[in-house]
Homo-oligomer: A and B are copies of this chain.
Amino acid sequence: MTEKAAHVTNLDPWLDAYAARAETLSVSEVRALFSVVSRPEVVSLAGGMPNVSALPNDVLQRSYEGMMAKRGALAMQYGGGQGDLTFRDQIRELMALEGIHSSVEDIVITTGSQHGLDLLGGLFLDAGDVVLAEGPSYVGALGIFRHYEAHVEHVYTDENGMSPEALEESIAALKRQGRKIKFLYLVPNFANPSGVTLSAERRPQIIEICKREHILILEDNPYGLLYFNEPVPNALRSMDENVVYLGSFSKILVPGFRVGYVLAPPAIRDKLVLANESAILCPTSFGQMMISEYLSTADWKGQIDTFRGVYRERKDAALSAMQEFLPKLETTRPDGGFYLWVTLPEGIDSKAMLPLAVKELVAYTPGTAFFGDGSGQKYLRICYSYPTPENIRVGIKRLATVINLQAELLETFTGKRS
């Protein structure tokens, strides 16, 4: 053994012991931004954090007191792996707002919808399997699929969501290659990162294609209730009971409890409960019962209206700052949710530009985070949910300085006008 090799071994004596899937873990671009976000002088348009300050403290206080008085001993204890029955029954009402009829038996409480997705990945994905997803798609889902050593095939997505024609073409091409498609993963409403919503027309078309091709649909819907004007079209799950639906309290209440849920057909639900028990024994009783008390005593629909108003104002601030400082750039115009998806001038690489932006005290998420194949350099995601409208304007102004400088440099080098 050379000295160098000995040194490497010293760094990690267990290098030869890891499982194959451990190789799939890498520091994500979004994660690397966390340290940036915490510096107060930086306006972070990265993140993806909800604005929890729009929830009055005394609302949670009342939930805490009511819950402890009624079910304190249960809240402190272990519970069942599927989650609390009363709470699951309340979630039925929540899903009914998007047209979903469900049985309390088919709902599983998870550690945020993220863990629901992780458990589903574990149930379905063998190494080399294919997952179909929007292009771009949610970075946290891509990380899970990569962790299970699956391949993500992005399907062309426009301002009306995933294209049914492109979906058919992708499936046909993958079938010709003999690949095994395990499921289609979709964020149909105000998608992360694009902000687009799958149109009402396309929903039954997507379902029809997947039914015909025997492909399971995972419908991930954390943002659906946070529309600005019109409610979103009914959920895909409302049109097909075979769809697996994921929901979350992180955006319509707070993420700090880590409580989400999955609605699944019985056979999948059974496996999901067992996988949940294996991974964590049971979801947090305390978090479930806090939210359950909140749902039964607080004006939660009014609170969602408050959140809508807050996010609408911030979306308006973001779009008007884009108009003011970066009028030539193409951006999506979301009807709800947290995100703008911005197309950069030809030749600018959002990932390479990020350190320059941070130097100008603004942060965003590069488009590359949202593609499994490393593409997406010409896009960036702006998250307007967390900073104040004033700071959003300041942040986008700073971003314009960086982008315009990059465009000028490019022009100087190439002689082209962008």
Contact = CB atoms under 8 A, between A and B. Distances in A.
Contact of A254 (B77, B115, B148): B77
A227 B329 CA distance: 66
Contacts of A34: 80
A286 B50 CA distance: 15
Given A14-B268, A124-B17, A268-B14, A52 B73 contact: yes
Interface string A260-274: 000001111001001
A190 to B, nearest CB: 18
Interface in A74-115: 75-81, 111-112, 114-115
A283 interface: yes
Contacts of A122: 19, 21-22
Interface stretch (A23-31, A228-236, A360-368): A23-31
A255 B78 contact: yes
B285 A140 contact: no
A256 B285 contact: yes
Contact of A31 (B31, B81, B125, B284): B81
Interface string A370-389: 00000000000000000000
A282 to B, nearest CB: 8
B278 A118 contact: yes
A258 interface: yes
A110 to B, nearest CB: 9
Interface string A271-312: 100110111111111110000000000000000000000000
A68 interface: yes
A57 interface: yes
A214 interface: yes
A394 interface: no
7 contacts: A19-B148, A21-B122, A25-B274, A112-B280, A143-B277, A147-B275, A258-B280
Interface of A: 11-15, 17-22, 25-28, 31, 34, 49-50, 52-53, 55, 57, 60-61, 64, 68, 72-73, 75-81, 111-112, 114-115, 118, 122-126, 129, 140, 143-144, 147-148, 182-183, 214, 216, 242, 250, 254-258, 265-268, 271, 274-275, 277-287
Given A114-B281, A144-B279, A254-B286, 8 more contacts: A15-B267, A18-B124, A22-B124, A22-B275, A50-B77, A77-B255, A111-B115, A112-B281
- Report the 9 A-B pairs with minimum CB-CB distance, sorted nearest first: A12-B267, A76-B254, A256-B286, A25-B274, A256-B285, A52-B76, A76-B256, A258-B284, A118-B279
